[in-house]
Structure 1
């Protein structure tokens, strides 16, 4: 076993601390933005306002988000990162579909306790603001591409169309349920039930791709 000296351990701890701090800053910017959009309106809220509410500088805002449209979907990147991390840590021999299901369940838990009362604001902006709607569509396409890449990594033998269709089913299905719940102001218990049902529908569809149900060494 390789010996790890104290300076290296300290560097690892420092790196973890920096990542947690960055994550907290992203979350603070995202929640502050949605709150201000709800209270003042989207056009009336400036990037400087969001940065001040999160207790950071406008320059810091831009180190996390390219534009005001991007901060509306701050959680998307975070949740996708969680899915990728869970899939990367899947136990040896676990079927890809089971790994994917576990990752999505973890994301569901985070979503249910996430943006809360500002969920409808997020959906309304995506429906009413062309720039936000365009960014939402781009994000959806990006997420599907990432999911397709993850499926190809999990299942090297998966067919091209199977990978494309499976990623579309998984991402599109869950995104549609999330948008519906937030648009209609579901409480956490009702949202959890809806997401569980949506996951069951998605999982049933994915079972038609045989390679997803086969354990891999």
Structure 2
């Protein structure tokens, strides 16, 4: 019963597929024709939607570059809820591993394009930095929810370790063109390193009542 209540509805699944189709079509066109040369009308046509539908999912062409990042961060926020008897660290690892499965599978052919666009364009770099800072703030707030006794500095440092460490490894793997198996191996190692750093925070290792 609980699984049925948390499973996305047919409408939600359709919306996610449409959003993913738009993002994938955009990255493919950016790779084939260039970022500046690709219009929103081009992206909409390639995804078999109208420009109006595009704007119902993304405010601008710049935002479509970050579609996957935004979706994965939203997933982490959804999953990072404490389970009775589980330590915060166990919750964090479970949530991150679930999300990494999607990262490895998504944008397999165009992940490097996404990274290159961000590195080459100052406006996109600025947006990427803002998203990184927003993600750290959001994860910090979730850490406070997971362990109400955690200190402010511990929560700030822990969110920086978790978000910064995983983001850096994902970007590296895509920039260097890692195949899915190699990328998963690298991300597993990153999770181990992040967990090692977070284990020094006592509040994250206390089981819930």
Instruction: Classify the TM-score, shorter chain.
Output: over 0.9
> Could you tell me which residue of structure 2 aligns to residue 164 of structure 1?
156
Q: Say whether 1:154 aligns with 2:166.
A: no
- Unaligned runs of 5+ residues in structure 1 are 1-11
> Could you tell me which residue of structure 1 aligns to residue 88 of structure 2?
96
CA-atom RMSD in angstroms: 1.3
Q: Say whether 1:67 aligns with 2:60.
A: yes
Counting only pairs closer than 5 Å after superposition, residues 1-217 of structure 1 correspond to structure 2 as 16-88=9-81, 90-217=82-209
Cα deviation, residue 169, structure 1:
0.4
- Structure-2-length-normalised TM-score: 0.93
Q: Report runs of 4+ in structure 1 exceeding 2 Å deviation.
A: none
Q: For 1:202 and 1:186, how far apart are their aligned partners in 2?
A: 20
Q: For 1:21 and 1:117, how far apart are their aligned partners in 2?
A: 23
- Structure-1-length-normalised TM-score: 0.90
Q: Which digits, 9 at most, give the CA deviation of each residue in 1:140-164, with x for residues without a partner?
A: 1111111111111111111111111
Aligned length: 203
Cα deviation, residue 29, structure 1:
0.9
Counterpart contact for 2:83–2:208, Cα < 8 Å = no
Counterpart contact for 2:170–2:187, Cα < 8 Å = yes
